[in-house]
Structures are given as C-alpha cells and as structure tokens.
Chain A
C-alpha cells in the first residue's frame, strides 16, 4: 500500500462542481481507471481520499491537492496518465507524487482575481481601491455557524497588489490566509460591497494559484 498526492486543476465548467460533486467524480475516476483505492473501514466503506482545503463553487484553481492510498503500488506518472483519461471537462491532474509534508503546514494561499467594471475603472478609482485594501482594519459582517458576526479580515491578507489589465478589468494578486482562520477570496469583494460599494466590481472571478507554507514557500 502506498500513499500518493495528486495536484490538479479545476477550472472552466468544472468550476461549478461542488466539493461533494468533486469527491464523487474522483471516486469514479479511480474506478474507471482500474486503480484500486483504499476504502475507509466501517459500516459503509467508501474510497478514502483527503483534500487539502475545500474549494468554493465558482472559484477556479490550478493547485488543488488530494491524498489517497492505492492497494497496489503504481508509478506516479502512470497514475497521472490513467486519471487524466476520464475526467469531465475542466479537471486535470498536473502531477502525482509521494507526499512529504502534511496539509496542516499550509498557511497561505496565493490567489488571482479579475474584477470587471462595466463602466470602466479610472486612475482615481484604482487608487481608491488600493487605499481601501491598505486600511488598518477591514471589518465585515459575515455569516458564521451561529448567525452573523463581525470580523476584521485585514490580518488575513498578507499582501495584495492591483493592476489594471484592460480599461474595465483590474487584476488582483493576493496572498491570503489559507486556514485557521481561512479567508474566502469572495470576502475581498464582499468587503467592497459592504464598506465601499462605489468600488465594488460588477463581476469578480478568483483563481487559486498556489498553497504556501509559513515561509511563503510553495507547499507541495
């Protein structure tokens, strides 16, 4: 029995699959490929696979991580090739390897976002946007398990840069907290909607770029 980690991307139409959808799809991809994955023990055994950090519906990623064990050892390259044969559109395994580090070492998440402004964004607005994310505190109201609560998301943003890519599009590159607590990149937009609605984009799309450890090295 051997443990493996697969790094995969989930983009395009696959962006709309929920975490549960993804788990079901992964189970089936292993079966389709004839790879015998280790099942959980218990009353209702199911294929055992662990995902680093669940991805929200509607968010792209090129750095998802999934751990699993196979009953028979296989070459990582072969596993990658077999899995990539039967995915739905938008999911692709980028690499398979033996994991050396644990998911708990993930501290930061590099994300990229596209903010679209239908009526364009000028220098003044871009400066205001930059100033907004540079504030000392960004306190937003968000839904928690116990109703709504206020939280300062500023400490969860390590860095954030803005660049106008087109007259109506701003690109965001940010490093944000990945876990304990995590920051859903959607809250970067929610903060605008709540605190500076005039700066909120008409549409925003995020993509996870990389998981990082506490020293900002790429976590593999």
Chain B
C-alpha cells in the first residue's frame, strides 16, 4: 500500500471503504489487459455498493477478456481533504492505480444531487471537468443510468452518454474504443463512430439554440449524429447476466443483502413515476431461474438475507411460487427473506404468513395521495378499501408498524386532498383498534410526505412544481390535521426537492451553474449536511438563470424539451393522452388488464411485453 495513503487511513472515518480487497473483487493481471475502465459511483462506498446496476455492469465488463473494470467511489469529506493535502489522486479500489490514466471513466447517474460529486471526482482524479478540455482519446468519460434520460445539465462534462440498459451497449462502446485505440483514432473520430451505436448520445454533436424567453428554439445534430437516440434494452432479460458470484463488502453497506431482480418495467403506469415509464417494457425472469440465482448468490456470498428487487414486486406473476421456492431453501438455513414495496391491493394473507415465519418487519405502503380523486389523477389504482383491507390483514397477522408514503404538490391538488392524508392515517389507526390481535404492544403509524418533482418522460413533464412556500404551507396543514399520537409525521425538506427539480428538467445552460456550485464547495449533496440551497441560488443568479423558470413554470405542450433527442420508446402522444386523462380524473387500467399502446414494446423486434 502507498505509504502516504497508509498514514491517511489511520485518521479517517471508516477506512475500510478505501482499500478494496473484498471477497470476490476482481483483480486481473495487467499484462492480459488492454482496456481499463474505472466504474465511478458518485456517492460513498456504502451507497454505491448497494447499487444493483453497478454490480451487474462490473460483472458484464469483467467477463470480457482484456477488459478490467474497477470500482471508484466518492471519498467522504475527511478523506477528500486528506487526499488533496497529500496529493493522492482518485484511485480505483482493485488496483489502487490513479484513474486518470484509465481508458474509460464510467459514471453511474441515479440521482441529480450527485452531479456535483461527478465534477469533484473528475477533479480529484486530476482531470479537467469539461469535456472540451480533455483532448486525448484517453480517458473517455461516459455516463449511464436513469438520470441520463435528461442528460443535458451534464452535457458539458460527459463525452458520451449511454441511454437505457447497459448490458449490451456498454460492451459495444468498449469494443469500439479498443479498436479506436489500436487504430490510433482521435477522441473526435472515436466519438463520431460511437454516435452511430444505437443508444449512444454524444452531447457535443448537438447544437442547442435558445429563444429570448429561455426556451429551446432548436436542436441540430451534426457529424451524422442521429436526430433521436432511443434507449437500449437487453434483448432477453430472462437469460441476461445476473451477478451470482458477487463482491461481498468487508464493511457494512446500506443494502447489505442479496437483491434478486424479478423483472424490469412496471405494469402500473403511475403518471408521476419516471421509473415506471423509462424502464418499459415489462420483462421478467422465470421462477426457476430466480430460485437458482438466489441459491447460488446466497451460497457464494454467505449472506443471511435476501430481498426481491423490482418496481412493484407484488406484480410478479409467479410471486407465490417464487416465495415457496425461496423459503423452502432459506428457512432451514435461517436466511431471511424480505419483501419490499408491496402494493396495497394484492397483498395476500398467505404471502404475508409465509414471510412472517422467518422474520416480521414493518409494512410499507405508498398510497401517494389521500383522496380517491387525487389517486385517480396520478393513476395510482389503489382504493381506500384496498389499503384498509390490507392494513386489517396485517394487524390481524400481528403487525404493529405501518409506514405510509405520500406526495404533496401533485397536479390539481387541493387542501382537501392534503387533509385527507391525515384522515386516511386515522382510518388505518382505527382499523388497528378494531382488528389488532395484541393491542398491548401499541401501534406505530408513520406518514411521510415528499415533494412532487415533475420528471422528464412522464405525463407530468409539462407541469409546474409547487413553490417551497406552498409545500411548507401544505406540510403545516397536514401536521395540524394529524391528531393522534400514534401517528408520526415526517416530511422531506423542500429545499433539496427544489434543486433536484431544477436539474431534472434542466437544459445544458445549467452546466455553468453546476460548475460554479462545485467550485463553491458543492459535493456529496445527497447528504443533507453537505447540501446548501443558497449555493445553488447564488450560482443561478451569477449565471443569470431563474430557478423558477425550471421549477414553477408550466411548459406548453409544443415546447422543445431539453431531452427531446432522447427517447425511452414511449410515444410522446401517449404521454399527452395520459396527461389529458389525469386532468379528467380518468384512470388508465394497468398494462396487464389492457395494453395502452405506449410504444415501448417495439424497442426489440419480436418482444412481447409482460409475458
């Protein structure tokens, strides 16, 4: 180990995050490797190692001979200060080598508030943050992940974006790079070729023009870059790579368990939900394959907990069989099975009983809104009866802790909708009084509200976000409406939601703002202790941009959106129809009841959605 680093590690918090050496981490012989990739996660080790996308792509990249993909995470503030003071550049965990000299630096973008961390990591690596200031072919800085559905705020910093699922396209880009390196191509020549790969977006190949009012007047591709970049998906999800021989961190991470990925996409079509749109179409893995993957992953890792990961696990067709298959194996081994994000409408007693045999944890439901009217607007097809029946089942089964998640600031929301959240919580409490088996232990009902942020590629992408004052007023209203002491109310800070809203529908002019925020100390801003709204507002002022232009402005339906080059396969007309239905309070049945013809099933030829 580097002597300087050894000294620093004695002084920083949780040094195990910075040394690698975990079981199953991949170390290749450098002489067998002609391409080195630094897979960078713009948050801490504990967050990044919990990310299933990172684990999949780490496995996919390293399965290719000659490519060595290593992990890089953002250092905590104490470590960053020590590294800068000692002149230690950002290094990869597996080799300890500085990433500046790697061929490719790949960022995973899951959350807008991580953007400044990306700039900081490039700087820590010793690289210019702006794409135009990095002249050579090495390193190419790429990014993928959910946030890339609106890549524009990062357009100045990232050389190449990958849109959609990375399993195949990442390898295509890597192979093209290897060839380009052999052929001695320039960065520009490589990017020109890469732009021809489906699912690749090269921001520097698009001229974006703005009108006087700040909206976009035109986007023009150059050098043969496509007018539309459509997302990629794996051709066959069932058989696609799943890591069953995965890294086992030596120190505790946030999701310290096996996550089994049941399916991608979601049949529900909640109108606020970006994930529900951009991960379409619905594709699942078979029960047998999942049970085998679970067994291998648990045996190979030694984990004693497994959870099911997907957007709405209770919509998995074979959920009953899957749970039987898993429990048959996990129970005798004292391995616990956790079921996350269940919907309130099809939660079955038998499933609950089955899982309860191993460990009983709290129940979480997301009704999202307090009134049926509001839930119809957002197409959250859950009724009050569904929620209360499920709660009754849970309380009868001995559960005594329920968490309820809601959003404030949804389109068309009135004060009645807000107060109804309190009423719904009171009804859940009343249900407990009526049906709880053992009342002596009391009950805990937690109501949490977050601030609705309109997201790109959803039917609400044209909406205005509530102001922070309005959100605060609604929080106060809800607070005063909750009377019982058994109900705890938590609410998100509107400040981060405000900054997130600027970025999530932002255009490329925000690049200057991002750079200024970073220069003024912005990093690790998904952690409240490092977030400052004032820093964002000051930077907006400095660059003569109005935050409200991005957040509180309703867009006209014919406005050119900053992300209009990017397609997730869903037709824009479908989004407009859904928006009209929302305002009419009309629900759209889920995809299983009736195909809505959103268009995502045409992404891969011959693909059947939700089969």
Taking a contact as CB atoms under 8 Å apart, the answer to whether B302 and A31 are in contact is yes
Nearest B residue (CB) for A24? B252
Taking a contact as CB atoms under 8 Å apart, the answer to whether B21 and A88 are in contact is yes
> In the complex, which residues 1-41 of chain A have their Cβ closer than 8 Å to any Cβ of chain B?
12-14, 16-18, 20-21, 24-25, 27-32, 34, 39
Q: How far is the CA of A21 from the CA of B333 in the complex (A)?
A: 21
Give the residue among A20, A57, A89 with the most B Cβ atoms within 10 A: A89
Taking a contact as CB atoms under 8 Å apart, the answer to whether A203 and B15 are in contact is no
Q: How far is the CA of A184 from the CA of B76 in the complex (A)?
A: 27
Q: How far is the CA of A19 from the CA of B47 in the complex (A)?
A: 21
Q: How far is the CA of A14 from the CA of B299 in the complex (A)?
A: 23
Taking a contact as CB atoms under 8 Å apart, the answer to whether B300 and A32 are in contact is yes
- B252-286 near A? 1/0 per residue, CB < 8 Å: 10000000000000000000000000000000000
Taking a contact as CB atoms under 8 Å apart, the answer to whether B251 and A28 are in contact is no
A-B contact count (CB 8 A): 74
Q: How far is the CA of A205 from the CA of B21 in the complex (A)?
A: 20
Taking a contact as CB atoms under 8 Å apart, the answer to whether B21 and A18 are in contact is no
- The one of B23, B251, B299 that contacts A87, using a Cβ cutoff of 8 Å: B23
> In the complex, which residues 154-204 of chain A have their Cβ closer than 8 Å to any Cβ of chain B?
202-203
A45 within 8 A of B: yes
Taking a contact as CB atoms under 8 Å apart, the answer to whether B16 and A21 are in contact is yes
Known: A21-B251, A205-B6. A13 touches B302 (CB 8 A): no
Give the residue among B16, B250, B334 with the most A Cβ atoms within 10 A: B250
Known: A45-B334, A88-B21. A16 touches B302 (CB 8 A): no
Taking a contact as CB atoms under 8 Å apart, the answer to whether B302 and A28 are in contact is yes
Give the residue among A12, A57, A88, A202 with the most B Cβ atoms within 10 A: A88
Contacting residues, chain B, for A27 (C-beta < 8 A):
302, 304
- The one of B7, B18, B22 that contacts A88, using a Cβ cutoff of 8 Å: B22
Taking a contact as CB atoms under 8 Å apart, the answer to whether A88 and B250 are in contact is yes
Taking a contact as CB atoms under 8 Å apart, the answer to whether B334 and A12 are in contact is no
Taking a contact as CB atoms under 8 Å apart, the answer to whether B19 and A13 are in contact is yes
Contacting residues, chain A, for B301 (C-beta < 8 A):
28, 32
Taking a contact as CB atoms under 8 Å apart, the answer to whether B23 and A86 are in contact is yes
Contacting residues, chain A, for B7 (C-beta < 8 A):
202-203
- B330 vs chain A, min Cβ distance (A): 12
Known: A24-B252, A27-B302, A32-B301. A16 touches B16 (CB 8 A): yes
Taking a contact as CB atoms under 8 Å apart, the answer to whether B22 and A58 are in contact is no
A54 within 8 A of B: no
B593 within 8 A of A: no
Contacting residues, chain A, for B302 (C-beta < 8 A):
27-32, 86
Taking a contact as CB atoms under 8 Å apart, the answer to whether A89 and B300 are in contact is no
Interface size for A (C-beta < 8 A) is 29
- B280-311 near A? 1/0 per residue, CB < 8 Å: 00000000000000000011111110000000
A120 within 8 A of B: no
Contacting residues, chain A, for B252 (C-beta < 8 A):
20-21, 24
- B2-37 near A? 1/0 per residue, CB < 8 Å: 000011011000011011111100000000000000
B225 within 8 A of A: no
Taking a contact as CB atoms under 8 Å apart, the answer to whether B1 and A88 are in contact is no
Taking a contact as CB atoms under 8 Å apart, the answer to whether A17 and B250 are in contact is yes
Give the residue among B21, B22, B303 with the most A Cβ atoms within 10 A: B21
B147 within 8 A of A: no
Taking a contact as CB atoms under 8 Å apart, the answer to whether A88 and B10 are in contact is no
Taking a contact as CB atoms under 8 Å apart, the answer to whether B23 and A16 are in contact is no
Q: How far is the CA of A14 from the CA of B302 in the complex (A)?
A: 18
Contacting residues, chain A, for B388 (C-beta < 8 A):
none
Contacting residues, chain B, for A34 (C-beta < 8 A):
299
B104 within 8 A of A: no
Nearest B residue (CB) for A204? B10
Q: How far is the CA of A156 from the CA of B219 in the complex (A)?
A: 75
Nearest B residue (CB) for A203? B7
- B359 vs chain A, min Cβ distance (A): 8
Taking a contact as CB atoms under 8 Å apart, the answer to whether B334 and A39 are in contact is yes
A99 within 8 A of B: no
B49 within 8 A of A: no
Report 20 cross-chain contacts, Cβ distance below 8 Å, ordered by A residue: A13-B21, A16-B18, A18-B16, A21-B252, A25-B250, A27-B302, A28-B304, A31-B299, A32-B302, A45-B334, A57-B15, A57-B16, A86-B23, A86-B302, A87-B23, A88-B23, A89-B21, A89-B22, A90-B21, A202-B7
3 nearest CB pairs, A to B: A28-B302, A89-B21, A31-B302
Known: A18-B16, A57-B15, A88-B23; 20 extra A-B contacts, CB below 8 A, are: A12-B21, A13-B19, A13-B21, A16-B9, A17-B16, A20-B252, A21-B250, A21-B252, A28-B23, A28-B302, A32-B301, A39-B334, A58-B10, A88-B22, A88-B248, A89-B20, A90-B21, A202-B7, A203-B7, A203-B10
